[in-house]
Amino acid sequence: MKNVTKLLVAFIVFCMLAFTCANQNNVPKIVKEAFAKKFPNVKEAHWDKESETEWEAEFKMNKVEYSANFSNEGVWLETEHEIKTKDLPKNIIDVLKSQFLEYDIEDVEISETSKGVFYEFEIEKDETKMEVVLDMDGKILKKALIEENEEEND
């Protein structure tokens, strides 16, 4: 029985590695070129197919973990990286305290798109989880409940 378990585990690991390698090799050349142009100092990235029309690269820059999304045509869509709550500016903290006082901050990311730079928060109060997006001035751009099945897909 132990041998069967070991073989099964080895097979699963092999399949995961094969899938990862396949994703790395299937990234369209135009997407990799767009990534290299946008991030010329990044030498290594891990690629995943985000959807039928989108690719995501995960990489480190200045010791910070980033992700960047590109369309199949090589159009840059978004770059994100996590930040610590203590690194948020006072105006953003003030908005969170006034609008979401009873919520705990679970995750904070800075998201850059062609429309600008934004703070994205995942906040929680009891069993309620929300995604909140603020612009750099503290204006609330999005407030949405996070369903449990959405979380499992992330």
Residue 124: Cβ-neighbour burial (10 angstroms; 0-12, 13-18, 19+): middle
Q: What is the DSSP letter of 69?
A: E
- Residue 72 is which amino acid? N
Mean pLDDT of the chain: 86
Interior/surface letters 91-116, b for 16+ CB within 10 angstroms, e for the rest: ebeebbeeebeebebeebebbeeeee
Q: Tokens for 5?
A: 């378990």
**Average pLDDT value for residue range 102-114:** 95
- Residue 3 is predicted with a pLDDT of 55
**Average pLDDT value for residue range 110-139:** 96
Q: How do residues 46-86 score in pLDDT, each as one tens digit?
A: 999 999 999 999 999 999 999 999 999 999 999 999 999 99
Going along the chain from its start, the domains and CATH numbers come out as 1-71 (no CATH), 83-154 (3.10.450.360)
Length of the chain: 154
Q: Where is pLDDT greater, at 18 or 148?
A: 148
Contact 55, 27 (CB under 8 A): yes
